[in-house]
Structure formats: structure tokens, C-alpha cells
Amino acid sequence: MTSGLQDFDCIKKAVASKTGKKKDRKMMAKPKNVELDQCVIKWYQQQCASGVMVHGTELKMSAERFASNIGLQGFKASEGWLYRFKLRHGLTCKKVYGESLDANEEVIDQYCKEVKDLIQREGLLLEQLYNADETGLYYRSIPENTLASEKEKSVPGRKLCKARVSLLCGANALGSHRLKPLVVGKEKQPRCLRGMMDSLSVHYDHSVKAWFNVKVFKNWIFKHAVPEIVRFQMEVMKVSREQVRALILLDNAPAHPPASELVAKHGRIRVKFLPPNTTSLIQPMDQGIIVAFKRLYRRRFLEEVMVVVDEEERNVGQLTLQNLKNYNLRSVMHNISWAWNDVSSSTLANGWNCLLHRTEPVVDFLGFEADNFHHQFVKSGENTTVDDINN
């Protein structure tokens, strides 16, 4: 009876600490060698605490090494042993995101203090503090996952479209002024954009691989960003031309020239670089702003190419593929502009929380509320209500 209570307590403790793979586990199989199991899990925890990534191969090697050290004869760390070990301790394979382990918290705190002191010393307003960041956009990429019957072992697919452009987004710390996005493609004058370059809702530039380089970036700073900042401060903030000031925070990308080469308006508009390996933690555009933009762009893109209801009863799948084929850079420019303008001002402002206030950002995914999904369901012929979606 006592042994049963002890087992129950062990299971309850494992579930509470979420170390088990299944919360409804009724049995907990003990390892054949408890000492070896404890050595391996302690080694694993030490590696993780040091920021070292551990794979299954390393776990098996460490187990065999520990087995040799404690005199355990005939032990072999097989795939079956690894499976049971991971099951006992609730270990799963996960993808590693970001570069936060390379960041130095002391450097971040010092940089944030420098920015605050600079704002106070020069009397800068939040409207005069900007951040801009580059990102890649696979603008014709359709979802890789799909719904399928449980009876189907696999789902046939098509070659993924890797058409890509580079994109630069920027805005001020109050979220009241968003700079017009810059799109970088491969062609100097795409055929679908001929005669429209001056009337585009975004800026367009080109490079051999559709990547940012020093020439493209400097052209954006002096021909687009600075004039837009001056115009906003004079027309909206009612500041005289001589009093226009701005500080643009940038990361240390190879395409960015030295700060001394990015000074305009007699030093009143200049840039300050972020410390290395800190963009994932404090760069405002990386705190959910670009993610929100890409989700909005993807929703707009799918709405445009995916055919849900065809009144003439033609092949819906073929129509979708034809729409995808006809989706060109002109459509990309329009949807980029739409998505960027639909990123809420609160999301733009909250992206600065980590840098200015050392608090977590709050992302408002505008366009993903229940009403929006209800509209899409009704459009596709589904009879549902907003309450159904909320529930």
C-alpha cells in the first residue's frame, strides 16, 4: 500500500512539473539503472543552463560515457533507450529561434541608458525617434500544410515558389509616423511596373540578388527617409525646417555604412547603431511589428489568390493556381502598402517597450479578430456566427 502511494506521489509530482510527456499518464516506468539516468539528466540540465544545444546523439554519447565511469557493463545507448529517456523526462525536439543567447544583458542595459540620456539631453520627442529594419519576403509563398483525410498517408504537392524581395520598414516610437516601405527587387524596371514607378505606394530599388547593399541603403536614407521625416515634422508637428531633428536606430547589418556617412540636415538627423547580437531583444521592429506586418500581408495575399466559391462551377483549384501565376510585383507593392498601413499604431508604439521601458511588447494583430474570421466564413458560404468562432 505504501509503495502504491509513493508511485502515485511520483506521478503527481511529474505531472505538476510538466516533466512527463502526457499529463494523463497512469504508470511511470522506472529506468533499469537509476544512477545512470540521474547522471545523464543532470548533465543535460547543466548543458542547457550554459546555453549549449543538446541533441539525441550527444545524450547517447554521454550515457555511454557515464555507464563506463560507473562500471555498468554491456550498456548501449540505443534508439529505444533514447526514446524512453526522453519520454520519462518530457524532452521533445524543438527548433531554436533568435539569437538571444548571444546577447549581453549588461550591454543592453547600458545601451538603453545611453538612448534615454541622449533623448533627455537633446530634448527629443518620441515622434523624433525612429527605427528601421530589413527583412526578406517570399511574396508568392502559399502554406505548406493542408487539411487531409486521416486515410491519406501523404498529400501530393507542387514545387515551392521562392520568388523573393527584400523589404525595409520603419516608424517612429509613438507610432504616429510610418515611413513608406522600401522594396528591393532584381530588375531595374520590372515590366509590370513600367510607367508606374512615380505613383507607387512604396519605394522601389534594385540589386543583383534583391538584397540590400550600401548603395541602396544610402539612397533610401537621403532620398526617401530624410525628406519624409522633414515633411512629417513640418506639416504634422508644425516644426520649422531649422528645428527638424531625428534619431534613427539601426542594427549592425553589413549593408549599413558607418554612422558618420548617414548624417543629414547639418547633423540634426543622424543614426545610432544597436550593440551586436541585441536585435532580437531590443530592436523595436523585431518586437512583433514585422511579424504582424507579414501576417497581414499573407492574409491579403491568400484572399487575392485563393478561390473559395466559383459561381460558374469551374475548377476551383486551377483558378487558384492561375491567380497565383498572375500575381506579380504590382500586386506585391499594393499588398505590402496595405499590410503596412494596417499594422496598428499601438503595435508600432509597443515595439519600443523593451528598449525604452524594459518591459515586454504587446502585439495587436489587427485584422485577426472574430469579426474578421466571421466575414471570411460567410464569404465562403459557411453558416456560422461570431459566437461560434469565439467558442
Cell of 261: 556617412
Predicted pLDDT of residue 267: 86
Residue 50: predicted pLDDT: 63
Q: Give the closest residue to 367 by CA, choosing from 290, 304, 296.
A: 296
pLDDT at 47: 77
Q: Quote the cell numbers at residue 3.
A: 509503495
- At residue 104, the pLDDT reads 66
Instruction: Output the pLDDT for position 309.
Output: 45
- Give the full edge-to-edge strand order of the sheet including 246-250: 203-206, 182-185, 164-172, 129-138, 246-250, 269-273
Phi-psi category of residue 210: left, alpha or beta, with phi > 0 → left and psi -120 to 50 → alpha: left
User: In the prediction, which pLDDT does 20 show?
Assistant: 42
Q: CA distances (Å), 23 to each of 11, 70, 80, 81, 87, in order?
A: 9, 33, 22, 21, 12
How far from the centroid of its chain's Cα atoms is residue 333's Cα? 21
Q: Which residue has the cell 530592436?
A: 283
DSSP code for 383: -
Q: Is 0.75 surpassed by the pTM of this model?
A: no
**DSSP reduced 3-state for 203:** strand
Give the pLDDT of residue 155.
46
Q: What is the mean pLDDT of the chain?
A: 79
Summarize pLDDT for 76-93 with one digit per residue, the tens. Answer: 888 888 888 888 888 877
Length of the chain: 391
Angle of CA points 257, 258, 259, to nearest 5°: 115
For the chain, domains (ranges, CATH) are: 2-89 (1.10.10.60), 100-142+161-379 (3.30.420.10)
Report H helices in the chain. 2-16, 34-49, 56-69, 79-89, 105-122, 214-220, 226-235, 279-282, 289-305, 316-326, 329-342, 345-350, 370-379, 386-390
Q: What pLDDT is attached to residue 56?
A: 83
Low-confidence stretches of the chain (pLDDT < 70) are: 1-29, 50-51, 94-104, 143-161, 306-321, 361-391
Rounded CA Rg of the chain: 27
Q: Measure Cα distances from 13 to 4, 6, 40 in Å.
A: 14, 10, 20
